[in-house]
Chain A
Amino acid sequence: MLSKPISFIKERINRYFVISKHRTLNYFLFTLALIIISRLLMIAFFISKYGTLRDYIIFTTSTYDNNWFGSIITGGYVKEPNGHAAGDAANWAFFPLAPLMVKIFSFNCLLNYRVVGIILNTLFFALAITVAYRYVTDFHDSIKVVLIFTAIMVFGPFSFYFSSLYSESLFMLLTMLFLYHLRRENYILMGIFGAALSATRVTGVLMAFAVLVYVICKHVKEKRGNVIVFIKETLQNHRLILGVCLIPLGLFLYMLYLKNLTGDAFAFMHIQKAWGRHL
């Protein structure tokens, strides 16, 4: 009974997401449609239980760390700690690229930055899933895997974070772009996305280890020789070396900014004490 509809769906998936010349655009629009459906379901659930659409927007953009991102968007980084009841918290813990994107696209808060933030991060989320689609279909030829991945990401219970002011959406998009270009061995482009990653969250700088794992695995798989050969070939690959050197650039530019602002290049790390974490 179900075989006809299933065949129809399979045929459509194949036509639009595997064979079509515009398969990437098709998948992006498909993902965006799914995200809109998921958000409408969330809004409907919220309105039925807790409040209005305005309350929903405030809930997703003005609670928890959203307020910290909001403070950076509207007022920039503070010179001295003054947050929390103890007065020892500051927005230095939150890296600049995500709030900067919202600030730019809201024309320096001329538009409502909360609404712009929701739309922008939702677009980043859809783009991130689309890049993941390209990665899986280009290198693993499995549309089934990416459809399951899309469903889990879009309809998972914590998916609302990807439509808030948090940096999750941008970080996910940049991670996908980084890994895609690493796999394509476009190392300089990979490095540029790596620099953007380390300007979005401090953990972005750890992607350098992803590069290391990739080149080691490639070397072993292709049986290219011993450790000495590996080191020699790696160091001679100037694109790879430059790409890896670019990854920490975002983090260190932010550290330079903090050094000028507060006198402490590691202020983003030291301020974690206000959240009960001393590193």
Chain B
Amino acid sequence: MKSKTKLAFKVLAYLLCAALMIFYLVIFFSKPNVSIEYRLYYIDDVLMDWVGDGGLDYKLGTPINFGTENNDLNARRKGRGWDTSSANYVSVIKNDAPLFFTFDASNDLICTIKFGETNINSYNIKANATTVLNAAKQKNGSVSFEIDKSLISEDRLLTLSFEMDTTDISEQPYLQIISIVINEKEGE
């Protein structure tokens, strides 16, 4: 009888261990169910400022002015690779410096960026890793380009990133961005 009890306890102990291990694995591999802002800031560590849940929401047609004098919530959507020390603009200083936007769009988009000074040869602009503007050279003026609405991800996120051509540039490369506005193209 005593040995039966011992055996029963032994079996129970191993069953409990198995249950615990399954519980640990389920918790460990559970996918986070969080906002885009939380994922970009805390998990992926690509967003520089905490903007709160819903903080990356963008109202189409709203101009965003950059620089320390304009650092409201709407302008705090930058990733890594920016110099944010100037009053009236921000500068791309590393390749693939991103800007994050979340919104709903039923039509294609027109993005207008006002650039400042630059010392690089040219730059590409990507929307969610797809090039939408190639080898642009515009400085001290505005550039407009189209973004196909199919490029916006399922979770409503649009990432604009800037790729600089720094061939033969020996000093720190920079590309100043003064403002940006995204509009919906009128439906045909």
Contact = CB atoms under 8 A, between A and B. Distances in A.
6 contacts: A238-B10, A242-B13, A259-B27, A263-B32, A265-B28, A265-B32
A16 interface: no
A256 B52 CA distance: 23
A87 B52 contact: yes
Contact of A252 (B14, B27, B53): B27
A88 interface: yes
A39 interface: no
Interface string B1-30: 000000001100110110011011001101
Contacts of A264: 32-34, 38, 42-43
Interface of A: 80-81, 86-88, 238-239, 241-242, 245-246, 248-249, 252, 255-256, 259, 262-267, 270-271, 273-274, 278
B68 to A, nearest CB: 15
A249 B24 CA distance: 8
B42 A273 contact: yes
Contacts, number: 64
Contacts of B45: 273, 278
Contacts of B16: 242, 245
Interface of A, helix, strand, loop or mixed by DSSP: helix
B81 to A, nearest CB: 16
Contacts of A80: 52-53
Nearest to B33: A263
Contacts of B21: 245
B43 A88 contact: no
Contacts of B30: 259, 265
A88 B20 contact: no
A278 B40 CA distance: 13
Given A86-B50, A265-B32, A270 B42 contact: yes
B41 interface: yes
Contacts of B34: 262-264
A87 B50 contact: yes
Given A80-B53, A249-B20, A264-B33, 5 more contacts: A241-B14, A264-B34, A265-B30, A270-B42, A278-B45
B27 A81 contact: no
Interface in B39-94: 41-43, 45, 49-50, 52-53
Contacts of B27: 252, 255-256, 259, 265
A17 B101 CA distance: 69
B36 to A, nearest CB: 12
Contacts of A87: 50, 52
Contacts of A238: 9-10, 13-14, 17
Contacts of A246: 20
B57 to A, nearest CB: 16
A112 to B, nearest CB: 34
Contacts of A81: 50
A214 B33 CA distance: 40
- B9, B13, B33, most chain A CB atoms within 10 A: B13
B23 A252 contact: yes
Contacts of A256: 27
Given A86-B49, A256-B27, A241 B17 contact: yes
A110 B9 CA distance: 43
Nearest to B9: A238
A265 B30 CA distance: 8
A263 B34 CA distance: 5
Given A80-B52, A263-B32, A88 B24 contact: no
